[in-house]
Amino acid sequence: MTSALSSVRAELLSFLQCPETGAALTGWDGVTESGTLTASDSGRTYPVRDGIPCLLPPSLRDSATTEDAEKRSEMHARDAQVGDYDNMLGLRLFTSVEVPITLQYLRLEPGHLLLEGGCGTGRMTPFFADRVRGLLCVDFSMESLRVAKRKLSPEQAAKTLFVQADLSQLPLRSNVFDRVGTFGVYEHIPTEATRDRAVADMLRVMTARESGSRFALSAYRWGPPISWNAQKEGHHDGGIYFKRFTQTELVELLTPRLSIGGATEALLYYHLIWGRKYPA
C-alpha cells in the first residue's frame, strides 16, 4: 500500500529543478517507487528509481574532461564498494565521535530544513533526520542512496527526500535550506575549481545570512600524525580521488565563499569548519 505524501516531503519535492536549465520539474507524486520528472521548459525527462529522483546532468555522463572522468570513476567505485563501506569497524567507531561534534557545529533545530550534500550510505543521516523538520540528501552514487534510504525509520523517511545529483550542479531552488552540511566529501572533489563550484552551489541553496543560516563542512586533514605515513593527494583503492588539507589551506580555499565562524581539528583525521554566507 502506498503511503500518503507528507507536507514536508511535498515541500522538499517542490525545491527540485532541472539540472540543466533550472526549470520546474513535475510529474512524480513523491510517493511511488518509480516515475518520471519532466522539465517545464524543455520537456526533458528524468527517471525516478526506488523513490529516488535521478537528476545527474547529462554532461557528467557524456563529458570527456578529466574532471568528469574522475567523478564517473568515483561513482562506479562507490556503487561497487557500498557493501564494504558500512562494514568498516574503524569508520563506525569514528562516526560515534564525529556525530556529536558535527551536530554541535550545525546547531540543528526542529523547524529547520537541512541539505546533506554527499550523504553516501547515510552514516549520519538518521541523526540529522531526528533533529530537523525536513531533510534532503544528495549523492551521485545511486547504490549509496539506496542503502542510506533503507536506514531510516518510517517516521524519518516521511520527512526525507533522497536525490541523485552532482554537488557542483545542484538541481535545487535557491535560498531554501536553513542548514547545509557536507561531510567527508570535499576532499574527493577532483579539482580546486570544482570544489569551489560545489561550495558555491551549496551556499546558493541556503537561506540568507540574516536568517541565521549555517553551513558546515568536513575534509581530510593534512598534518601529524597523518602526514607521517600518508599521501597528501592521490587515489584510494578503486579509483577514488582524494586530497588532504592543512587548516590554513582549507580556510583560505573557503574564505572567498564563506564567512568562517569556527574550525576544529579535534577529529584528527578530518577538519570540521562552519560558517555563514556573506551578506547579499
In tens, the pLDDT along 135-161 reads: 999 999 999 999 999 999 999 999 999
SS3 of 44, please? coil
Residue 100 or residue 62, greater confidence: 100
pLDDT of 19-46, one tens digit each? 999 999 999 999 999 999 999 999 999 9
The confidence score (pLDDT) of residue 109 equals 98
Mean pLDDT rounded to a whole number for the chain: 92
247-254 and 192-204 are packed helices; what angle lies between their axes, rounded to 10 degrees?
60
Residues contacting residue 18 through CB under 8 Å, at least 6 positions apart: 24, 25, 39, 41, 42, 44, 46, 55, 171
Q: Taking residues 176-202, what's their average pLDDT? A: 97
Residue whose C-alpha cell is 552540511: 181
The confidence score (pLDDT) of residue 81 equals 73
The confidence score (pLDDT) of residue 1 equals 38
pLDDT band at 247 (very low <50, low <70, confident <90, very high): very high
The confidence score (pLDDT) of residue 60 equals 74
pLDDT of 40-82, one tens digit each? 999 999 999 999 999 999 877 665 576 777 777 776 776 777 6
The confidence score (pLDDT) of residue 181 equals 99
pLDDT of 122-139, one tens digit each? 999 999 999 999 999 999
Phi and psi of 129, rounded to 5°?
-60, -35
Q: Determine the Cα angle at 97 with ends 262 and 152, to 5°.
A: 105
The confidence score (pLDDT) of residue 67 equals 75
Count helices and strands (H / E) in the chain: 9, 13
Least-confidence region, from 11-20, 70-79, 253-262, 263-272: 70-79
Q: What CATH number should be reported for the domain whose range is 64-276?
A: 3.40.50.150
Residues contacting residue 111 through CB under 8 Å, at least 6 positions apart: 133, 178
The confidence score (pLDDT) of residue 61 equals 65
